[in-house]
A and B are shown apart, each in its own frame.
Chain A
Amino acid sequence: MAAAFEKRHPSTRIELILAGSQVLRTQIEHGAPAAVFASADLAHADALRRAGLLYPYEVFARNRLVAVVPASAAVAGLRDLARPGTKIVVAAASVPAGRYTSELLASLPAAHPDGAELAKTLRANVVSEETNVRAVLSKVVLGEADAGFVYATDVAAAREVRAVPLPEAGGIRVEYAIGVVARRPRQAEAQAFCAFVRGEEGQAVLRRFGFEP
């Protein structure tokens, strides 16, 4: 994305600081000289907004929560993950992917007649709460866990694993926000980058990596 932008704007250099949304937010709160903030959820963008550190943001991509399993595993849906002895790895509730996973499990009782039981057995199968979604994926890729809850885009980039779509997660909105950090130099360039990401070319890049508009 940055490379594509720089090709269009040869006079601008993009420097990417890549980390979890919470870490980036903390850095901005403590004065990191960032021009643009892109967040994996709206909550962190909202928090910076309330603190007056971010100008109005916009959603630039969407994603879906899926179950990731080894490519050869006979898993068609959530019920197969509730079998006893299945090792499930999730993201901790303190990171966005973990929050979405909690939302998914909490929504089961209302969605299925036996949803409460299903949610209970799934929770009992959880063996680890990772501090980032990548670690969830790697535990499944390494074969240590039988399944994990991650984003569809994570699975698209990984080998030897496949995504199991979760109709139950249909109501969970995974949205990514981008906005210009308030009172920092290079506002015009920052604006241009946000517009680029949300524009045709930026969206094409995101689509290539499995994001939805």
Chain B
Amino acid sequence: LPAGLWLASSVLVAFILLPLGALFFVLPPRELLEHLASPAALRALGVTLKTTFVATALAVLLGTPLAYVLARGTFRGRELLDSLVDLPVTIPPVVVGVALLLAFGRRGLLGRTLDLWGYPVPFTAAAVVMAQLFIASPFFVKAARAGFEGVDGRLEAAARTLGASRWRVFWTITVPLARPALVSGILLAWARALSEFGATMMFAGNFPGRTQTLTLAVMTALESDLDAAVAVAALSLVLALLALLAAKTLAGRPGAARA
């Protein structure tokens, strides 16, 4: 490739890398580690891992059938449904938080009943999971749909003619062939859940050890202790980077998709 092209593309890369890199170099490594080992940071890490894990699992559980319907179904309004699934990506997260309150809050459409039954949602870890699921699930559904669409329908049909049930075909043909896309969708959804902030703050509040995730801890620390905020921000960056790298590596693995 011409050198000019490299040069031109390096501008954006440098623009992104410089501020992110600064997060790691503004503090001496020892201080960075000390902040990370603080009880507050560890508690936020615990809440984050727990909630994002559950949210991602739910996204897969509920998103897989939906993605399959979108990929294989032929019905009117399919593209409309697809757009609806994408909607959460385009709405500002704070608006999502308000919407979740209006639906599941104490005075919300459904929340009123839940509250009466003794299951108030706001200010609980479940609220954190719901906010993350709302924001992050489209990333999985999109990737999974693309993955299912990439599977040759004739292979599935052939397996069916050989007497395999739909269920068996799905697990032995479709899922293995779509695996790279599914894995990358899982990791993308997880990375997005990891960085969720606006909806969580609004819907789940901010309580250390219960609803305070890493991003909320950063925002809280930012009000008083810039160093602690930087340290926790660096930690979330590492987690997100790991997720993205894993997604790229696994999705890019040759063979599987073309088998």
Contact = CB atoms under 8 A, between A and B. Distances in A.
Given A129-B206, A144-B105, A144-B107, 19 more contacts: A20-B223, A23-B222, A26-B226, A87-B123, A92-B206, A92-B223, A93-B224, A94-B223, A94-B224, A95-B224, A127-B123, A129-B207, A130-B205, A130-B206, A131-B219, A131-B220, A142-B101, A143-B106, A144-B122
Contacts of A89: 205
B223 to A, nearest CB: 4
B208 interface: yes
B207 A127 contact: yes
Given A94-B220, A142-B101, A143-B107, A128 B225 contact: no
Contacts of B226: 26
12 contacts: A87-B123, A93-B224, A94-B221, A95-B223, A127-B207, A128-B123, A129-B205, A129-B212, A131-B222, A135-B201, A139-B205, A144-B122
Nearest to A130: B206
B214 to A, nearest CB: 14
Contact of B107 (A93, A126, A127, A142): A142
A22 B219 contact: no
Q: How large is the interface on B (under 10, 10 to 19, 20 to 34, 35 or more residues)?
A: 20 to 34
B223 A131 contact: yes
Residue among B207, B208, B219, B221 having the largest count of chain A Cβ atoms under 10 Å: B207
B221 A128 contact: no
A142 B226 CA distance: 31
A32 B86 CA distance: 39
A126 B106 CA distance: 16
Contacts of B223: 20, 22-23, 92, 94-95, 131-132
B56 interface: no
Contacts of B224: 22, 93-95
A145 B123 CA distance: 9
B208 A129 contact: yes
B18 to A, nearest CB: 16
A22 B106 contact: no
Interface in A132-169: 132, 135, 139, 142-145
Contacts of B205: 89, 127-130, 139
B211 interface: yes
B117 to A, nearest CB: 15
The 6 A-B pairs of least Cβ separation, nearest first, read A128-B205, A94-B224, A94-B223, A127-B123, A143-B107, A22-B223
B30 to A, nearest CB: 23
Nearest to B205: A128
B238 to A, nearest CB: 23
A144 B123 contact: yes
A152 to B, nearest CB: 22
Given A26-B226, A92-B206, A129 B220 contact: yes
